[in-house]
Structure 1
Amino acid sequence: MNTEMDQKEGNLRTQKYLGEKGLIVLIAFLSAFIPLSTDLYLPALPRMAENFNAAPSLINLTLILFFIFYAAGSLFWGPLSDKYGRKRILLIGLVIYTVASALCVFSGNVYQLIAFRIIQAIASGAATSVAQAIVKDSYSGRKRLSILAIVTSMTMVAPIVAPVIGALILGFTSWRGVFVILALIGLLITFAVIAMEETIDQRSTGSILESFGRLGVVAKNPGFISLLLTFSLMAIPMMSFISASSYIYVNQFGLSEQVYSYFFAANAFFMVIGPLLYMRVVRLIKPISLITASYVIACLSGILICTIGIQSPWLFALSLLPATLTGSITRPPSANLMLEQQKGDTGAVVSLMSFTFTLFGSLGMILISFDWANLVRVMGLMYVVFAFASLVLWVKISKKSFVQKVSLK
């Protein structure tokens, strides 16, 4: 009886030990591995450059290469979870992540830290790729969309608290303490996954090579790949902010690490409320129109950043806010729309989603890392250019017949 009720409500899987709330919290933590692994030590970047006597560009490689190898890891773990199951792949990835985090603590130089961060990044791909696969395994219809909104909001709490916690850690210890915290987080999540019951219903029966070959099959889906490229473009300016935020607030505007963390957390707060606002706004505005409007607003936000945002940290934060909010509002419907384009091959689908978003984001981090005279103005221009490009592509692609029409409400 409960199973039938769950299926009618959109619950396709039940968890004996975690329960539905426990599973949602676990998915949120798995999805938050990237902001936790990066934002927690953002306040320490300027200090790490002094500690290692290294150029900021070299220290930034601990961030840039993390995202690049995380993208590669996302491609690796997703298809494996289709073949061997979500739980087994999660446990392998989490153990590697925890060990790599501990090794970062004992890095003797910046090159060792970069190497351990690469291992940490590859392992992180297991957490985030499998997390969205679990959502599709466990929920369907409107229930899935509401879970995506809840998980996205919970995930966005990490960018709020991470830099603040990181700054507090720096108040009584060095940057190495940040990686101690990350190792403990990895250990705790590992125990939670042990309690999780497997969610995949039907595993891939082919060889490992055939499992990886499903990536090519999914990539040939015109509806999925066109939406994927369109929605991933905004990762370029978004991740440029993640990479350059500490330098903008600390070096360019002259704020302390602690005050910087408050500005960063305030911006992240609007990432949290965005998905929750979507569930209310969508009752008044059609989802397709909402996505269109988000790109228009992001473009206008970029213009504000270029013009008034360069004058003070407060004006910069306020100018960035509209792009941040609209970007987070459209994350649940865009993710659900991409997931629905492909029947089956869920691991491959979410792997390509993680890979492409992160690859584009890494490009943004590389672009902003050049020796620009004014980082704020460059970031604003990136928002204008890529928001406009996304708008043009979205308007064109959303009307194509090869895009599977899905009710986003």
Structure 2
Amino acid sequence: MNTNFEQAAAKPITQKYLGQKGLIVLITFLSAFIPLSTDLYLPALPRMAENFQAAPSLINLTLILFFIFYAAGSLFWGPLSDKYGRKRILLVGLILYTAASFLCALSGNVYQLIGFRIVQAIASGAATAVAQAIVKDSYSGQKRVSVLALVTSMTMVAPIVAPVIGALILALTSWRGVFVVLALIGLLITLAVIAMEETIAQRSTASILESLGRLGVVAKNPGFMSLLLTFSLMAIPMMSFISSSSYIYVNQFGLSEQVYSYFFAANAFFMVVGPLLYMRSTRFIKPVKLIKVSYVVACISGGLISTVGVSSPWLFALSLVPATFMGSITRPPSANLMLEQQKGDTGAVVSLMSFAFTIFGSIGMILISLDWADRVRVMGLMYVLFALLSLIMWQGISKKAYVQKVIQ
């Protein structure tokens, strides 16, 4: 056991006000902060470019820099929650997020918006990093995998409804209304966290610098780091779709903002059903093989996107579905596998998980924002390339002795 931690009572913390169902709902909303903070305003990106008379590449910085600074922020929130507790860190992050969202709505130019989005991004790291730490605090074994699957599935509702709600907000008001809604969401979740009982069983007695130094300890774990790299690679093509979807559907295929939101929501639907079907799929195929299959399917899906997907929005959407579905169905076992590689240092583990996924996703967003003649074809090739690379890496490390075989 880590000597920097104080042993707490073995009895699990009960949620006096939220209850266990309420805790799961809260974890879900905390986990959904990123899709809520990005997908809700995706339909507004073309209109924001017109409003500020700015190039799309400059407007895209409100998205790209959001992910980069979210990744940086998530690195320190997790270890700090090991020292000061999950609840206190959540409250600090949520108050900062709510204030930054209101300031985004009041931005007078694109540079102010970018600056406030950076603050909003750093604060978002507290929500998502601590959410996964709460899951590990509160559940273990198969129960944790079930909760991860349920939370992942519920979280994926956000990408379905967020663009639709964003388009409705745009029909009633300007893009500024989107950030007002985000501020109100932040305020409501802050009230829920106030009602939450602290979940951490062991608090770090180390200094702040020593707590942050636990990131280095976790980074030396070969099992965790090899899995982290393998599972994070697919964030590159996935986030390339998130950041470019409005331009593809609205500008390239000529759809309206409202119709675009329906296409985006349809793809996100398969993110929801994937984790729900995961628990049933383990009866027929082992999770280790399921992960392998997911990479093969993603590769085939990428080939379809880059060939037939360029023809119409319908073919593009249908070609993307297999990769989306298989990526979501393997998310719970891959997350649980990474969590099990390190005993203790939960905050550092989840921070590195959030950081890696976001950094790789940001790479995808930057790549797709370059001046390509056909973004759809490029995206398809990205799926093929990174699915093949992930498959090769998974085949190599899944049998290594230093990787805990907790999902076989």
TM-score past 0.5 threshold: yes
- AA in 2 matched with 1:393: M
Alignment-derived partner of residue 371 in structure 1 = 371
Alignment-derived partner of residue 3 in structure 1 = none
Alignment-derived partner of residue 37 in structure 2 = 37
The gaps in structure 2 that reach 5 residues or longer are 1-9
Are the counterparts in 2 of residues 26 and 192 from structure 1 also a CA contact under 8 Å? Answer: yes
- AA in 1 matched with 2:111: Y
2 CA distance for matches of 1:165 and 1:172? 11
Alignment-derived partner of residue 26 in structure 2 = 26
> Aligned to 1:309, what secondary structure does the other structure show?
helix
- AA in 2 matched with 1:143: K
2 CA distance for matches of 1:200 and 1:27? 14
Are the counterparts in 2 of residues 11 and 139 from structure 1 also a CA contact under 8 Å? Answer: no
TM-superposed CA distance for 1:404, in Å, is 1.1
Alignment-derived partner of residue 111 in structure 1 = 111
2 CA distance for matches of 1:233 and 1:12? 35
> Aligned to 1:386, what secondary structure does the other structure show?
helix
Are the counterparts in 1 of residues 13 and 198 from structure 2 also a CA contact under 8 Å? Answer: no
Q: Deviations over 1:213-259 (max 9, x none)?
A: 00000000000000000000000000000000000000000000000
Alignment-derived partner of residue 93 in structure 1 = 93
1 CA distance for matches of 2:274 and 2:388? 21
2 CA distance for matches of 1:318 and 1:169? 27
2 CA distance for matches of 1:15 and 1:397? 39
TM-superposed CA distance for 1:407, in Å, is 3.3
Are the counterparts in 2 of residues 13 and 137 from structure 1 also a CA contact under 8 Å? Answer: no
> Aligned to 1:308, what secondary structure does the other structure show?
helix
- AA in 2 matched with 1:400: K
TM-superposed CA distance for 1:172, in Å, is 1.2
Are the counterparts in 1 of residues 36 and 159 from structure 2 also a CA contact under 8 Å? Answer: yes
> Aligned to 2:310, what secondary structure does the other structure show?
coil
TM-superposed CA distance for 1:11, in Å, is 9.5
TM-superposed CA distance for 1:14, in Å, is 2.2
TM-superposed CA distance for 1:35, in Å, is 0.2
Counterparts of residues 61-72 of structure 1 (less than 5 Å): 61-72=61-72
Alignment-derived partner of residue 126 in structure 1 = 126
Counterparts of residues 178-197 of structure 1 (less than 5 Å): 178-197=178-197
1 CA distance for matches of 2:112 and 2:33? 21
- AA in 2 matched with 1:181: V
Alignment-derived partner of residue 256 in structure 1 = 256
2 CA distance for matches of 1:249 and 1:13? 47
Are the counterparts in 1 of residues 93 and 126 from structure 2 also a CA contact under 8 Å? Answer: yes
Is it true that 1:138 corresponds to 2:138 in the alignment?
yes
Are the counterparts in 2 of residues 18 and 196 from structure 1 also a CA contact under 8 Å? Answer: yes
> Aligned to 1:392, what secondary structure does the other structure show?
helix
TM-superposed CA distance for 1:391, in Å, is 0.2
TM-superposed CA distance for 1:13, in Å, is 3.4
Q: Deviations over 1:21-73 (max 9, x none)?
A: 00000000000000000000000000000000000000000000000000000
Are the counterparts in 1 of residues 333 and 407 from structure 2 also a CA contact under 8 Å? Answer: no
- AA in 2 matched with 1:116: F
1 CA distance for matches of 2:286 and 2:214? 33
- AA in 2 matched with 1:192: A
2 CA distance for matches of 1:171 and 1:53? 20
Q: Deviations over 1:345-380 (max 9, x none)?
A: 000000000000000000000000000000000000
Are the counterparts in 2 of residues 275 and 331 from structure 1 also a CA contact under 8 Å? Answer: yes
- AA in 2 matched with 1:49: A
Alignment-derived partner of residue 6 in structure 2 = none
Is it true that 1:59 corresponds to 2:59 in the alignment?
yes
RMSD of Structure 2 on Structure 1 (CA): 0.9
Are the counterparts in 1 of residues 288 and 407 from structure 2 also a CA contact under 8 Å? Answer: no
Identical-residue share of aligned pairs (%): 84
Are the counterparts in 2 of residues 30 and 131 from structure 1 also a CA contact under 8 Å? Answer: yes
> Aligned to 2:299, what secondary structure does the other structure show?
helix
Are the counterparts in 2 of residues 152 and 275 from structure 1 also a CA contact under 8 Å? Answer: yes
2 CA distance for matches of 1:357 and 1:172? 34
TM-superposed CA distance for 1:405, in Å, is 1.4
Are the counterparts in 1 of residues 228 and 356 from structure 2 also a CA contact under 8 Å? Answer: yes
Counterparts of residues 333-372 of structure 1 (less than 5 Å): 333-372=333-372
Are the counterparts in 1 of residues 13 and 197 from structure 2 also a CA contact under 8 Å? Answer: no
- AA in 2 matched with 1:289: K
> Aligned to 1:108, what secondary structure does the other structure show?
coil
- AA in 2 matched with 1:141: G
Alignment-derived partner of residue 319 in structure 1 = 319
Are the counterparts in 2 of residues 11 and 138 from structure 1 also a CA contact under 8 Å? Answer: no
Are the counterparts in 2 of residues 13 and 139 from structure 1 also a CA contact under 8 Å? Answer: no
Is it true that 1:402 corresponds to 2:407 in the alignment?
no
Q: For residues 206 and 325 of structure 1, do their structure 2 counterparts lie closer, same or farther at Cα, with a shift above 3 Å needed?
A: same
Q: Which runs of 4+ in 1 moved over 6 A?
A: none
Alignment-derived partner of residue 383 in structure 2 = 383
TM-score normalised according to structure 2 size: 0.97
Q: For residues 205 and 361 of structure 1, do their structure 2 counterparts lie closer, same or farther at Cα, with a shift above 3 Å needed?
A: same
- AA in 1 matched with 2:337: L
TM-superposed CA distance for 1:76, in Å, is 1.2
> Aligned to 2:309, what secondary structure does the other structure show?
coil
- AA in 1 matched with 2:268: A
2 CA distance for matches of 1:14 and 1:142? 20
Are the counterparts in 1 of residues 66 and 117 from structure 2 also a CA contact under 8 Å? Answer: yes
2 CA distance for matches of 1:286 and 1:96? 43
1 CA distance for matches of 2:69 and 2:47? 24
Alignment-derived partner of residue 172 in structure 1 = 172
Alignment-derived partner of residue 201 in structure 1 = 201
Are the counterparts in 2 of residues 232 and 357 from structure 1 also a CA contact under 8 Å? Answer: yes
